[in-house]
Structure 1
Amino acid sequence: MSTGSEPLAGFAVGVTAARRHEELATLLERRGARVVLAPAIRLVPLDDDAELLAATRACAAGPLDHVVVTTGIGFRTWLETADGHGLRDALVDRLAGTEIVARGPKARGAVRSAGLREAWSPESEGCAEVTRHLLGRDIAGARIAVQLYGERQPELTGALRAAGAEVIEIPVYRWSRAEDPTPLRRLVGQAVTGTVDAITFTSAPAVEATLAVAAADGLEDALLEAMRGHLVAACVGPVTARTLTGRGVPTVQPERARLGALVRALVTGLPVRRSRRLSVRGWSLELRGHAVVLDGQLRPIAPAPMAIRRARSAAAA
C-alpha cells in the first residue's frame, strides 16, 4: 500500500496533449497521480508542401527584414522541408541577416540549434506582444516572414499588412481534432462528475477541442462550472489559458512554459483545491481526490463514498 508521500498520490489528472503526452504522463505518475490519457488534438502534416516550398523560395529569393518564429517544431519542420529541396543553406543564410523574433523558449531553442540568434522574444509568449513589438517599428515596406502554427494568425498577419508590410506566411503543419474522440468524451464526463481532479492543457487548440467535445455532448457549461469549482485546469502558459480565462475559469500556470514546470505548478496548486485535512477520533485524515490518507497510508475510496465524505467534511467546515 502506498504511503501517500507522493504529492499527487490519490489524485486523477487528465492529459489532453497530442505531442509529448507520454513524457507528461510519466512526470505526473512519478509524483503519484493516476493519469487519464485523452488526446484532444493531433498534429497533421500538410497534404502538399507546395505552399511551404513557394514561401521558402520567396524568403530565400529576396531580402527579409523580420522573421517571426512561433514554435520550435514548426521552425525545425520548415528547415527540414527546405533541406529536402536543397534550400536549407540558402534559407539559413537569409535568416542570419534578418531580425528574428522568437515567440517563446521552444522557438528560441530551435532558432539557436540552427546556428542562428533571435533579436527579441516576448515575456508573455503571446502573439499580441509580438504584434505590438513589430508595430512599434517602421515596418512600412518591410518584408516579414511569419511561421504559422497549426492555423492562420490573422490578428498578427493582418495587423502587419495594415501597417504596410509585405507578409510571407509559412505554413508547416495544422491541428486537427483527435481521430477518436471517445477518450476525450470520457474524460469530460469524469471531470463533470468529479472523478477526475485536474485536466492539463499544453496548447490553445487542445482547450478549444475539449470545449467543443463537451458542447457536442451538452456538457460545455457543466465542464466550465466544474473548472470554476472542484476541477483544476492546468495550462502550460497564458496563451493556452486565454480561452478559459475569458470564460471566468481560474487556471494553474507555471512561470515558464515547460512540462516539468507545469507538473510542479500542479503539485502546488492541486492539493489546495482538492484536499482537506481532518482529525477524527485521534486519527489524522486527509481527503485527496479519489483516496484518503489515514495516518500516512493511502487508501483508495470509490467515487460515491468519497462524495459523501467530502459533503460531510464541507458541511462540518
Structure 2
Amino acid sequence: MSAVTTGTASTDSVAPAQGGPDRVADDPATTAADRAAIDQTLAGCVVLVTADRRAGELAAALARRGATIRHAPALGMVPHIDDAALVAATRDLVADPPDTVVVTTGIGFRGWVEAADAVGLAEGLVATLRGARIIARGPKARGAIQAAGLTADWVAESETSAEIAEVLLDEGVAGRDIAVQHHGAGDDGLDAAFSAAGARVRSLVVYRWGPPPDPAVVATSVRATAAGEIDAVVFTSAPATAAWLAAADAAGVTDGILRRSAEGGLVLAAVGPVTARPLLEHGAQPLVPDRGRLGSLVRAVVTHYGGLEALRTVAGPLHVHRNAAVLDGHVLPLTPSGLEVLRLLARARGRVVAREELLAVLPGASTDGHALDVAVARLREATGSRTLIRTVVKRGYRLELEETP
C-alpha cells in the first residue's frame, strides 16, 4: 500500500459522527490486551469520515482505537425503491429476460430485490436472474447475490467495472442482451462500451448519489482540514471523494490540503484504488489498503499511525498528538496545559527548554515561575515517571531520552 506520514490536530467545527457497533475490523481471535493496545494507536488523532452509508460503523471502529471522529458526508444517497422507472425496468426484464446480468454493488442489488418485492416482483426477478449469466463486480456484490439464493458465474477480482468490460468485450458481446445494475455514480462506461460492441443494454439504477445532507458541514470540513485541524480524512467511494475535493476547490483550500498531505501533516485514506483515483488526479498520494474493505481501511490507518517513529524516552516510547499523548502504550491523563508543555519538551528531543519558553505555552500571560513548577509537577504525576522530566537548574527542563548504543 502507499502511505503518507501525518501530524496531528483537532477540531470541533465539523459534526461528530454517530457511532454504532464496531463490526468493521475487530478480529474475534484478538485478546482483550491486544485490543486495548490497538485502542491507543489513534489516541489524539482527529479523523474525518466523509461517508454517508455505513459512516457510524466506520466511525465506531476508528473511535475504539482512540480517534476523535468528525463526520461530513460529502454526498447523500437517494434510494429508488419507489421509483416508477426502476419498477418498469424490472417488469421489462421479467417479461423479456436478458442473457447476462452485471451486478455492480451489493447494496444496489439488495435494494433492487427489495424494490421488486415491494411491488410483488421479487419472485419473478429472482427466477429471471437464475436463468441468466450473473457477473459480479467484487465480493460484496457476490455476497448480495448469494443472499438472494443465486450464484455469481464470474467475479471481477479487481472489483472494477473496467475488468468486467475487458472480459466481456474480449469474449464478444454482439447480439447479447445485457442488463446492468448501476451504482450511484453511473455506469462507468459499461453501457456505452457494450452498446458500441453490438449488445442490447438495459440499465437499472437502484440508488443514486445526491447532494450532501449539510453542505455547510462539508465546507467547514475542507477548511478545517486545510487549517491543520484534521489529521486524517477517510474516503469510501469515488463520487464522495470527488465531491469533497470539489468542495475544497470551491472554498479555495485545495492547495493547502495537498500541501499538508505532501508535507506529512495529513493522511488521505481511500478504501480502494477506484475511490483513490480523484485524489491521485489531484496529485495526492493517498493511503490505500491492499483489500477494498472498511476493515482493511481501518487497519491501514491504525498501522500507519502505529508505525510512526516514537520518541524513545526512559519511560518508554512517547507519541504526542494534538489531542493526547501516549507513553509506553498508555494515554496520559493530561490537562491542556500539561499537553502543551509535554509537546514542547518532546519537540526539543532531549535538549533543554528554557523556563521562559515553557511559560509562554501556559494559559494567560503569566511570568510566575511557580505556575510552571506546578504544571511540571502535575505532568510528572500524570506520566507516572520521576525520571522522565529532568530539571536543569536555572535553565529549564528536558526529557530524559533512552540511551542509544
| Normalised TM-score (structure 1) | 0.88
Q: Deviations over 1:132-154 (max 9, x none)?
A: 11111121010000011113225
Give the counterpart of 2:272 among 237, 241, 248.
Answer: 237
Q: Distance in 2 between matches of 1:146 and 1:70?
A: 8
Q: Secondary structure at the match of 2:172?
A: coil
Amino acid at match of 1:22: G
Give the counterpart of 2:235 among 187, 201, 213.
Answer: 201
Q: Deviations over 1:181-216 (max 9, x none)?
A: 222222222221222111111111110111111111
CA RMSD of aligned residues (A): 2.7
Give the counterpart of 2:109 among 75, 84, 89.
Answer: 75
Q: Secondary structure at the match of 2:171?
A: coil
Q: 1:280 to 1:43 in 2, by over 3 A?
A: same
Aligned ranges 1:1-317 → 2 under 5 Å: 6-46=40-80, 49-153=83-187, 155-229=189-263, 230-272=265-307, 275-279=308-312, 284-294=317-327, 296-298=330-332, 299=334
Q: Distance in 2 between matches of 1:308 and 1:158?
A: 59
* Superposed displacement of residue 277, structure 1: 2.1
Q: Secondary structure at the match of 2:203?
A: strand
| Normalised TM-score (structure 2) | 0.70
Give the number of equivalent residue pairs: 310
Q: Contact (CA 8 Å) 1:271, 1:288: kept in 2 or not?
A: no
Q: 1:281 to 1:92 in 2, by over 3 A?
A: closer
Q: Secondary structure at the match of 2:240?
A: helix
* Residue identity (%): 46
Q: 1:294 to 1:304 in 2, by over 3 A?
A: closer
Which residues of structure 2 form unaligned runs of 5+? 1-35, 350-405
* Superposed displacement of residue 231, structure 1: 1.1
Which residues of structure 1 form unaligned runs of 5+? none
Q: Distance in 1 between matches of 2:173 and 2:37?
A: 61
* Superposed displacement of residue 228, structure 1: 2.9
Q: 1:49 to 1:282 in 2, by over 3 A?
A: closer
Q: 1:5 to 1:22 in 2, by over 3 A?
A: closer
Q: Deviations over 1:58-88 (max 9, x none)?
A: 2112231211111111111111111222221
Q: 1:158 to 1:32 in 2, by over 3 A?
A: same
